[in-house]
Amino acid sequence: MPSPHVYRRIYVWELPVRAFHWINALAIATLGVTGLIIGKPFSVSYAQEASFQYWFGTVRFIHFTAGYVFLFNMLVRVYWGFAGNQYARWSTFIPTTKAAFQEIVEVLKIDILQVSVKGRIHIGHNRLAGLIYFITTFIFFFQALTGFALYGPTSHSILGKLAAWVVPLMGSEAVVRQWHHAMLWFYVLFVMVHVYLVFYHDYVEGRGTTSSMVGGWKFEREDQLDH
């Protein structure tokens, strides 16, 4: 029987990070579902005349509203990448040191090849996850940019005007729409793998990954803490 390890509580995810995560999750879920409906509306006709129903308009309204929430939430998180604790900072997302790249290789070995390694894996985002989130940020902004470019002509939104240059750059609105729609599937895949990995890490490592998304606390073996 192995002797029990002493674990320490570490406050990893500060409140703004947790709030960002769940607002983001909610916004993405809303945007994804409404986006799929806008792309391929089903038939709901509870009225015979157009003047008595407005469901498709409502779905679009929800999509646009969620789009605003998604963008501004994202911007707050970008700011928090400069103001937050060591686990929230951009430096954990962008690998610059040799050690960071080493950790990426080690994470790949542990989680994909599933062999054991000696190195210590970050208690916050592991370096590979951090890098993937960093790349995801660009896709998030791509989605926001194409979304507002499409939304712009239908509103007086300043954001729409700021994104207007995207249309001539990509060719036409039909093309922007195509890519905006295709990227929706990135989120579907991302969410599938992301949610799985949360459970996987919690299951294999027992460091409280799942509950940390709510409370902010993770657990680390005392002998593995760096002081």
Catalog residues that contact another protein under the rule CB under 8 A: 1-5, 39-41, 43-45, 47, 50-57, 59-60, 114-116, 153-154, 164-165, 168, 171-175, 177-178, 181-182, 184-185, 188-189, 192-193, 196, 200, 203-206
Q: What is the largest CA-CA distance in the chain?
A: 73
Q: Measured from the CB atom, is 96 or 114 closer to another protein? A: 114
Q: Measured from the CB atom, is 51 or 96 closer to another protein? A: 51
- Give residues with Cβ within 8 angstroms of 151, minimum separation 6: 64, 67, 157, 159, 160
> How far is the C-alpha of 207 from the C-alpha of 181, rounded, in Å?
37
Q: Measured from the CB atom, is 11 or 165 closer to another protein? A: 165
The distance of Cα 212 from the centroid of its chain, to the nearest Å, equals 16
Kind and range of the H or E element at 175?
helix 173-205
Minimum distance from residue 174 beta carbon to another protein (Å): 4
Minimum distance from residue 57 beta carbon to another protein (Å): 4
Minimum distance from residue 35 beta carbon to another protein (Å): 11
Structure tokens at 115: 């062999």
**SS3 breakdown of the chain: % helix, strand, coil, rounded to 5?**
70, 5, 25
Structure tokens at 64: 């646009």
Residue the block writes with tokens 């799985």: 196
Minimum distance from residue 81 beta carbon to another protein (Å): 28
Q: Measured from the CB atom, is 78 or 191 closer to another protein? A: 191
Q: Measured from the CB atom, is 101 or 185 closer to another protein? A: 185
Minimum distance from residue 219 beta carbon to another protein (Å): 11
